[in-house]
């Protein structure tokens, strides 16, 4: 059992538990995530401990947020501290900050983390990771030496970045787990692509694009990472701005790459390794994965496809369960999924499907057992 969450109804762990109950055969439950919402929960369900602290939410309010911890590895989920779900009064595209994510990272480093896995997804902010950097000790200053207020729009006044008080992270490995390949700037960048999803108007998008461009330019000159990118004569920060993944989570990918020297890894593939999927799949007859909506977005590196690819390497067939599906059988087979079972096949009403997802999933699992494990169904 290696499902992602059914967003809005069941966590990944609850999906795994319900399907296991409906199957009626011995199972191993390994809830998974792709770096977005639910990544910490998935890690905890697989044996990590949970550390909860109070941090700064995206609009400055104090909120409880968690990260997962095991043997010097911290799994930090941006959505926990800086996610859209943390907005109490609606979207704030110009002022939302990633500061709380930096506070989670700082707490993990103080705890002795040797590796920090940063899952990016569900972000409320478009601040280029400036808030995260501020929480770690960077000072973002205007031309008069005054510290900028938080939020993406304020970066238009950025003149200098003072890194003298930046937290010592020299002994920590940072990994960004994300399947987003957008650069920081441009028509495929953080502001243009993801800004509207966070409530940004066309005018807001222009303001945020200009502000993020200013951040990249000033970082080039002042944050101390002036080495040239390989095969490129531009300074490192500008190279980072154009790097695939720099635009993830409103540009937090940029700050992770530029300030933390993070390595960008495919979200679901890296997290499957971290959670020990390869060890658990050995000897299995079937892998059941899934997510709330199995659709075109799933094919772009979401959890079920990553699970299918990993299971294929072990020669184990894969089926999927979901709330609804829009992918055809041929598309699923091409992605390595033998068959898919949707709750909407049992209950066509979306509201009831969401409300009764657990019991419906157990019924659906019985169908999976009858069709995919027939020798066990009787």
Q: Is 181 left (phi over 0), alpha (psi -120 to 50) or beta?
A: alpha
Q: Looking at per-residue confidence, does 35 or 15 come out higher? A: 15
Q: What is the pLDDT of residues 319-369, one digit of tens each?
A: 999 999 999 999 999 999 999 999 999 999 999 999 999 999 999 999 999
Res. 225: pLDDT tops 50: no
Q: Which two tokens stand for residue 330?
A: 């041929």
Tell me what pLDDT residue 121 has. Answer: 85
Comparing 63-67, 205-209, 269-273, 372-376, the range with the smallest average pLDDT is 372-376
Q: What is the pLDDT of residues 283-295, one digit of tens each?
A: 999 999 999 999 9
Number of Cα atoms under 13 Å in the Cβ half of residue 275: 32
How big is the CA angle at 93 (ends 89 and 96), to the nearest 5 degrees? 70
**Per-residue pLDDT band at 223 (split at 50, 70, 90):** low
What does the CA dihedral 107, 109, 114, 116 come to, rounded to 10 degrees?
A: 60
Tell me what pLDDT residue 230 has. Answer: 35
Mean per-residue pLDDT over the chain, rounded: 92
| 345 DSSP 8-state letter | G
Q: What is the pLDDT of residues 116-167, one digit of tens each?
A: 999 998 899 999 999 999 999 999 999 999 999 999 999 999 999 999 999 9
**Which residue, among 275, 332, 298, has the nearest Cα to 2 in the 3D structure?**
275
- Structural domains in the chain, CATH included, are 12-32+284-377 (3.40.50.10350), 39-267 (3.90.1510.10)
Let me know: does 245 contact 181? Beta carbons within 8 Å.
yes
pTM above 0.85, yes or no: yes
User: What burial class does residue 40 get, using C-beta atoms within 10 Å of its C-beta: 0-12 exposed, 13-18 middle, 19+ buried?
Assistant: buried
**Local structure of 286: helix, strand or coil:** coil
**Which residue, among 305, 255, 314, 326, has the nearest Cα to 286 in the 3D structure?**
314
Res. 218: pLDDT tops 60: yes
**Local structure of 334: helix, strand or coil:** helix
- Alpha-carbon distance 59 to 197, whole Å? 17
Comparing 67-81, 258-272, 308-322, 330-344, the range with the smallest average pLDDT is 258-272
Show contacts of 364-368: CB within 8 Å, 24+ apart. Answer: 364/19, 364/22, 364/321, 365/18, 365/19, 365/20, 365/21, 365/22, 365/23, 365/288, 365/321, 366/22, 366/23, 366/24, 367/341, 368/19, 368/22, 368/23, 368/288, 368/319, 368/321, 368/341
Q: State the sign of the Cα–Cα–Cα–Cα dihedral 256, 260, 266, 272.
A: negative
Tell me what pLDDT residue 299 has. Answer: 87
Res. 68: pLDDT tops 90: yes
- Alpha-carbon distance 18 to 11, whole Å? 11
Res. 233: pLDDT tops 70: no
- Alpha-carbon distance 172 to 113, whole Å? 7
Let me know: does 289 contact 303? Beta carbons within 8 Å.
yes
**Local structure of 244: helix, strand or coil:** coil
- Alpha-carbon distance 321 to 303, whole Å? 12
Tell me what pLDDT residue 228 has. Answer: 31
Res. 237: pLDDT tops 80: no
**Local structure of 39: helix, strand or coil:** helix
């Amino acid at each position: 059992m290696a499902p992602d969450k059914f967003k809005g109804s069941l966590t990944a762990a609850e999906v795994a538990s319900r399907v296991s109950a409906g199957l009626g055969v011995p199972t191993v439950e390994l809830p998974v995530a792709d770096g977005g919402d639910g990544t910490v929960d998935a890690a905890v369900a697989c044996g990590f401990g949970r550390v909860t602290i109070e941090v700064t939410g995206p609009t400055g309010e104090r909120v409880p947020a968690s990260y997962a911890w095991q043997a010097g590895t911290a799994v930090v989920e941006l959505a926990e501290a800086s996610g859209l779900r943390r907005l109490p009064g609606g979207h704030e595209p110009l002022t939302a900050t990633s500061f709380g994510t930096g506070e989670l990272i700082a707490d993990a480093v103080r705890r002795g983390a040797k590796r920090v896995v940063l899952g990016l997804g569900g972000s409320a902010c478009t601040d280029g990771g400036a808030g995260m950097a501020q929480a770690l000790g960077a000072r973002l200053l205007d031309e008069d030496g005054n510290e900028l207020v938080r939020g993406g729009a304020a970066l238009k006044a950025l003149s200098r970045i003072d890194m003298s008080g930046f937290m010592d992270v020299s002994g920590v490995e940072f990994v960004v787990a994300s399947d987003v390949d957008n650069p920081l700037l441009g028509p495929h960048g953080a502001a243009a692509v993801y800004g509207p999803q966070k409530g940004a108007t066309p005018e807001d998008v222009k303001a945020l694009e200009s502000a993020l461009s200013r951040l990249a330019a000033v970082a080039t000159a002042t944050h101390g990472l002036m080495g040239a990118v390989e095969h490129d004569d531009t300074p490192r920060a500008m190279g980072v701005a154009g790097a695939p993944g720099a635009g993830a989570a409103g540009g937090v990918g940029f700050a992770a790459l530029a300030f933390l020297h993070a390595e960008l890894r495919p979200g679901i593939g890296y997290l499957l390794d971290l959670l020990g999927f390869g060890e658990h799949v050995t000897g299995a007859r079937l892998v059941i994965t899934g997510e709330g909506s199995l659709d075109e977005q799933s094919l772009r590196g979401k959890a079920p496809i990553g699970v299918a690819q990993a299971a294929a390497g072990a020669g184990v067939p894969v089926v999927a369960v979901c709330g609804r599906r829009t992918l055809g059988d041929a598309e699923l087979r091409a992605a390595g999924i033998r068959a898919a079972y949707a709750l909407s096949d049992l209950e066509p009403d979306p509201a009831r499907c969401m409300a009764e997802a657990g019991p419906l999933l157990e019924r659906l699992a019985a169908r999976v057992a009858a069709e995919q494990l027939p020798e066990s169904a009787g």
